[in-house]
Chain A
Amino acid sequence: DVKVTQSSRYLVKRTGEKVFLECVQDMDHENMFWYRQDPGLGLRLIYFSYDVKMKEKGDIPEGYSVSREKKERFSLILESASTNQTSMYLCASGGLEADTQYFGPGTRLTVL
């Protein structure tokens, strides 16, 4: 079974803190993705990566950065957390078969 794990299920941070969200996949997938999910807005793509050290901006990259030093690991960084970044963050990895994406359990981040 494909496994995508995220470092935390729930996280509470203060405004201005630096936040790291980690994602690890065990399927040797080339592509990895970070989304956020908000009520009424669906899934929105923040960043994706199609190879180690490669990254591409998604629809809403502002306020975020990413790091992919190893194939299996894709990190999302909030340089200075703000209250409007309170959301559910979902990591996904995608394989070569029609680029089917497999999602992690999500991290519900609250910024106070």
Chain B
Amino acid sequence: DAKTTQPPSMDCAEGRAANLPCNHSTISGNEYVYWYRQIHSQGPQYIIHGLKNNETNEMASLIITEDRKSSTLILPHATLRDTAVYYCIVRDPWYNNNDMRFGAGTRLTVKP
């Protein structure tokens, strides 16, 4: 699976958009980009995933560059409850070993 690079921490003002970047320059053609977040002492929460096209759901938007070497998760109107560690994972879902490999992630702090 391709490796990802994320900034270790970011701050965002409440009500503003939070843009979380992820680099995955070695991504291969079959690999998807997944985003999860984990609030302290809870299980990881699925946010969104994509292959090539930009994706949007009720939680967030995922923007994937045309060369697929990086992506950005956008929380359009961050709230205090969005404070969490955000993980970007790149993975081929049909590869033999099916686990999710979480890196260190980005610790997002939303401030009032």
Contact = CB atoms under 8 A, between A and B. Distances in A.
Contacts, number: 57
Q: How large is the interface on B (under 10, 10 to 19, 20 to 34, 35 or more residues)?
A: 20 to 34
Given A90-B43, A99-B93, A106-B42, A43 B101 contact: yes
B9 to A, nearest CB: 16
Interface SS majority for chain B: loop
Interface string B43-57: 111100101000000
B46 A102 contact: yes
Given A31-B98, A50-B98, A104-B43, 13 more contacts: A35-B100, A42-B103, A43-B100, A43-B101, A48-B99, A94-B98, A99-B93, A99-B98, A102-B46, A103-B36, A103-B44, A105-B43, A106-B42
B88 to A, nearest CB: 13
A48 B95 CA distance: 14
A58 B49 CA distance: 23
A98 B98 contact: no
B93 A90 contact: no
A98 B49 contact: yes
A45 B102 contact: no
A33 interface: yes
A101 B100 contact: yes
A59 B101 CA distance: 11
